[in-house]
C-alpha cells in the first residue's frame, strides 16, 4: 500500500481499478514548405478548425453535457476556434514563415499558452491547459490521429494521467469513470471545474504518480483530503467505503442549501457572491444560490484572440452578465494584467520581477487609451443593472485619485456625446497589498467599497511566491500578520461606513468562514460551485460563536495553532471533509 498527497480539487471518494492514460503531447518539428504550397496548407488549417468546431459541438450536445459550468468551458473553446483574428494569426504565420500547418498551429498556440503560464494569478495561469487542449484537438485533425477515448469502458475505473485536458475530462462517462488523479494541475483549472460540475472526485499535483500505478492497481481517490491510496489493504478499503457512504449523504444535504437564505442561526444575513470570468458563468452563480457577482475578471478579453478588445467587445460581455443577473450586483474588476501577461503587443519592456512591476492599475494608468476603452464600456453597461467598478492593486492614495480622475474624464466624454450611464455607479478598490491595508482608513474616504483580495495580500505580506515549490508551504492565510492586516481593513471599512467583501480563495475555504464572520465580514465572494457548502456553514453558526472563535485566534501566535483551531471548528460542522 502506498499513499500520495496532492491537491484536492473535486470532493468525494472513488475506489476502482486504475486506468492509466498516457499524455498526448505532439511535438511538431519545424518543416518548411515551398511558396506554391502555402494555399494548400492554409486550406488544411481552415478545414481543421471547422472539424474541431464540429467535434466540440457534437460532444457538447451529448446528453451527459448538461452542467452549465461545462457548457461555459466549451463555449470558451468555441469562441477561440471561431475567432477570425486567431485563425488569421495562424494563416499569416504560414504565409510569412513558409511552414507546415501543424507547425504554425503548434507555434502560435504554445506562444499564447506561455503567456498564460507566466501570469502570477494561479486562476489565470492554469488556463494554459485550455490552450494546450485546443492545440491537441487541431493537431489531431491535421495529423489524422484519433483522440484517445474511454467510451468503450464497461467497468468502473479511476483515471490516472500526467495531465488531463478540460474537454477530455468532460467526455468522461461518469457511470464508469469514478474519479481521476493527475501529476499536474491546480484547484482553479478548467479541468478541476469540470470535475466538480460532473461530481467526479479528483486529486491533482501528485508528483511521479504514474511511476507507481499499473493497470492492475486498485486506487482510492479522496477528493476531500487530497489523498490517493494505491493498492490499499482490506482495512483501509473498508474505512474508505464507509467514508464514501457518509459523503454521499452529505452531498444530498448540501443540495438543500442552494435555495435557502444565507442567514446565521441568530438571524444575521450574509451575502454570498460568485467570482466569474466569462459571461456564461453568471448563470452558474444563480444555479448555486449566489446573490450576485463579487468579482468579474476581465483579463480574458485581452488574453484570448489576436488583438486588444474593442469597446463593443467589452460592452457585449458586460451587458450579457447584467441581463443574466437581472438587477443583482455585479462588481467588474478592471484589467489585472502586467507587462509579461499581455500577448500580441510590443508595448511592454521585459521586467526582471513583473509581480512588483508594471501590472494591474499601474499598467492601466500608463496606457490610458486601453483603460478608457474599458471604462467607457463599463459605464455604458451601468444602466443595465447594479453594475459597480473595482480597481485592482491600488497601493497609494495617488493611484486611486488618478484612476477616479480618468473615470470622470470618461464620464465627461460620454456626456458630450449624449451616451447614458449611471453617474452614481459605485467605485471600489481591491485591498491586496500591505500598503493599502495599512492606509485603508485613508483610502476609504475615496472608495464606495473594499474587496479584500487575500491571494495577493498573503503573497505580498509574507514575501512568498505561492508558485515556488521551495517556499509555497509558507503561504498561509492563517499567519498572524495576514490576519492582523485583514482585521485592520475590516475595522477601517466599518468605521468609514463603506461596503466590504472578501473575494480571495480564503472566502471559500471552510475553515476560514467562521473566522471571517467573527472578524466582521458580511459579504463573501467565491467560485460558484463552493457557494452551497459555505452557505451550510453560515446557516449552522451564530455570530457570537464566530466572534468567540475570532477572539481566540487573536491570542495565538503561530499559523499552526490557528489552523488547527479553525479546522476543529469547521470539522464540527463538516465532519465529512475533516
Transcribe 319-337 into DSSP letters: HHHHHHHTTS-EEEEPP--
Fold: same for 2-23+153-232 and 35-143: no
- Cα gap 403→429, rounded to integer Å: 10
Q: Which H or E run includes 246?
A: helix 234-255
Q: Is 259 exposed, middle or buried (0-12, 13-18, 19+ CB in 10 A)?
A: exposed
Which residues are tagged catalytic? 190, 503
Buried b (16+ CB within 10 A) or exposed e, 81-93: bebeebbebbbeb
Q: Dmax over Cα atoms in the chain, in whole Å? A: 77
Task: Give the Cα-Cα-Cα angle 65, 68, 72 (nearest 5 degrees).
Answer: 95
- pLDDT tens, the chain, 578 aa long: 888 988 888 888 999 999 887 655 556 778 788 888 899 999 999 999 999 998 888 877 664 555 666 666 777 788 889 988 889 999 999 999 999 898 999 999 988 888 877 776 666 677 788 888 888 889 888 876 544 455 567 889 999 988 887 767 877 888 899 999 998 877 656 687 778 767 799 999 888 888 788 778 899 999 988 899 999 999 999 999 998 888 878 777 777 888 899 999 999 999 999 998 778 789 889 988 999 999 998 887 876 555 678 999 899 999 999 999 999 999 999 998 764 444 434 445 566 666 777 888 998 999 899 999 999 999 999 999 999 999 999 999 999 999 999 999 999 999 999 999 999 999 999 999 999 999 999 999 999 999 999 988 998 999 987 655 567 668 889 999 999 999 999 999 999 999 999 998 899 888 999 999 999 999 999 888 789 889 999 999 999 999 999 999 999 999 999 999 999 999 898 876 66
Q: Is 51 exposed, middle or buried (0-12, 13-18, 19+ CB in 10 A)?
A: middle
Helix axes 480-496, 559-573, angle to 10 degrees: 70
Specify whether the CB–CB gap between 128 and 116 falls below 8 A.
yes
Which residues sit opposite 157 in a β-bridge?
17, 177
Cell of 51: 472539424
- Cα gap 66→345, rounded to integer Å: 38
- Cα gap 529→508, rounded to integer Å: 10
pLDDT tens, position by position, 406-438: 999 999 999 999 999 999 999 999 999 999 999
The whole-model pTM stands at: 0.71
Residue 157 falls in which region: left (phi positive, over 0), alpha (psi -120 to 50) or beta:
beta
Strands 271-276 and 293-296: parallel
Length of the chain: 578
Cβ-proximal residues to 457 (8 Å cutoff; 6+ apart), any chain: 431, 432, 433, 434, 437, 482, 485, 486, 504
Query: Looking up cell 492514460, which residue turns up?
Result: 21
- Cα gap 65→119, rounded to integer Å: 30
- Cα gap 172→176, rounded to integer Å: 8
Superfamily of domain 35-143: PtsI, HPr-binding domain (1.10.274.10)
Cβ-proximal residues to 417 (8 Å cutoff; 6+ apart), any chain: none
- Cα gap 142→105, rounded to integer Å: 10
- Cα gap 228→3, rounded to integer Å: 6
Task: Give the Cα-Cα-Cα angle 510, 512, 516 (nearest 5 degrees).
Answer: 130
Domain 2-23+153-232 has CATH 3.30.750.24: no
Adjacency order of strands within the sheet including 218-222: 2-5, 227-230, 218-222, 13-21, 157-161, 177-182, 202-204, 7-10
Q: Where do the domains of the chain lie? A: 2-23+153-232, 35-143
Amino acid at each position: 500500500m502506498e499513499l500520495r498527497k496532492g491537491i484536492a480539487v473535486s470532493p468525494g471518494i472513488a475506489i476502482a481499478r486504475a486506468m492509466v492514460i498516457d499524455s498526448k503531447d505532439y511535438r511538431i518539428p519545424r518543416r518548411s514548405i515551398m511558396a506554391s504550397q502555402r494555399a494548400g496548407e492554409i486550406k488544411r488549417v481552415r478545414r481543421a478548425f471547422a472539424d474541431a468546431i464540429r467535434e466540440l459541438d457534437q460532444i457538447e450536445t451529448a446528453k451527459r453535457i448538461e452542467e452549465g459550468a461545462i457548457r461555459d468551458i466549451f463555449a470558451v473553446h468555441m469562441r477561440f476556434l471561431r475567432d477570425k483574428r486567431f485563425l488569421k494569426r495562424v494563416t499569416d504565420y504560414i504565409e510569412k514563415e513558409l511552414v507546415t500547418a501543424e507547425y504554425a498551429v503548434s507555434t502560435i498556440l504554445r506562444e499564447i499558452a506561455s503567456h498564460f503560464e507566466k501570469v502570477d494569478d494561479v486562476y489565470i495561469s492554469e488556463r494554459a491547459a485550455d490552450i494546450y487542449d485546443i492545440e491537441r484537438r487541431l493537431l489531431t485533425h491535421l495529423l489524422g490521429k484519433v483522440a484517445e477515448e474511454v467510451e468503450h469502458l464497461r467497468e468502473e475505473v479511476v483515471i490516472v494521467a500526467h495531465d488531463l485536458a478540460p474537454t477530455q475530462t468532460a467526455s468522461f462517462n461518469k457511470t464508469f469513470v469514478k474519479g481521476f488523479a493527475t501529476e499536474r494541475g491546480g484547484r482553479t483549472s478548467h479541468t478541476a471545474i469540470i470535475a466538480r460540475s460532473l461530481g467526479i472526485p479528483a486529486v491533482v499535483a501528485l508528483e511521479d504518480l504514474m511511476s507507481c500505478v499499473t493497470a492492475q492497481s486498485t486506487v482510492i481517490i479522496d477528493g476531500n483530503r487530497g489523498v490517493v491510496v494505491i493498492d490499499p489493504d482490506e482495512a483501509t478499503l473498508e474505512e474508505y467505503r464507509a467514508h464514501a457512504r457518509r459523503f454521499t449523504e452529505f452531498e444530498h444535504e448540501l443540495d438543500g442549501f442552494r435555495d435557502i437564505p444565507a442567514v446565521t442561526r441568530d438571524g444575521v444575513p450574509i451575502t454570498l457572491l460568485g467570482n466569474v470570468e466569462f459571461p456564461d458563468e453568471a448563470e452558474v452563480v444563480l444555479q448555486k444560490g449566489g446573490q450576485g457577482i463579487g468579482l468579474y475578471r476581465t483579463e480574458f478579453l485581452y488574453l484570448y484572440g489576436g488583438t486588444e478588445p474593442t469597446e463593443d467587445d467589452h460592452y457585449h460581455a458586460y451587458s450579457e452578465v447584467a441581463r443574466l443577473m437581472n438587477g443583482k450586483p455585479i462588481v467588474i474588476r478592471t484589467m489585472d494584467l502586467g507587462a509579461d501577461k499581455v500577448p500580441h503587443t510590443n508595448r511592454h519592456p521585459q521586467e526582471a520581477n513583473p509581480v512588483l512591476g508594471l501590472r494591474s492599475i499601474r499598467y492601466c494608468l500608463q496606457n490610458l487609451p486601453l483603460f478608457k476603452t474599458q471604462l467607457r464600456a463599463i459605464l455604458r453597461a451601468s444602466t443595465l443593472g447594479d453594475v459597480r467598478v473595482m480597481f485592482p492593486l491600488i497601493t497609494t492614495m495617488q493611484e486611486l485619485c488618478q484612476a477616479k480622475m480618468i473615470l470622470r474624464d470618461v464620464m465627461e466624454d460620454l456626456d458630450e456625446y449624449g451616451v447614458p450611464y449611471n453617474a452614481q455607479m459605485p467605485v471600489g478598490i481591491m485591498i491586496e497589498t500591505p500598503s493599502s491595508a495599512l492606509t485603508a482608513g485613508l483610502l476609504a474616504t475615496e472608495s464606495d467599497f473594499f474587496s479584500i483580495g487575500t491571494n495577493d495580500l498573503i503573497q505580498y505580506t509574507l514575501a512568498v511566491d505561492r508558485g515556488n515549490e521551495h517556499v509555497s508551504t509558507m503561504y498561509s492565510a492563517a499567519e498572524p500578520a495576514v490576519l492582523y492586516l485583514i482585521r485592520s481593513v475590516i475595522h477601517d471599512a466599518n468605521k468609514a461606513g463603506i461596503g466590504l467583501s472578501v473575494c480571495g480563495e480564503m472566502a471559500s475555504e471552510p475553515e476560514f468562514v467562521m473566522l471571517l464572520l467573527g472578524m466582521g465580514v458580511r459579504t463573501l465572494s467565491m467560485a460558484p460551485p463552493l457557494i452551497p457548502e459555505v452557505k451550510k456553514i453560515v446557516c449552522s453558526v451564530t455570530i457570537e460563536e464566530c466572534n468567540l472563535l475570532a477572539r481566540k485566534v487573536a491570542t495565538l501566535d503561530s499559523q499552526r495553532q490557528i489552523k488547527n483551531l479553525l479546522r476543529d471548528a469547521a470539522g464540527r460542522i463538516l465532519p465529512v471533509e475533516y
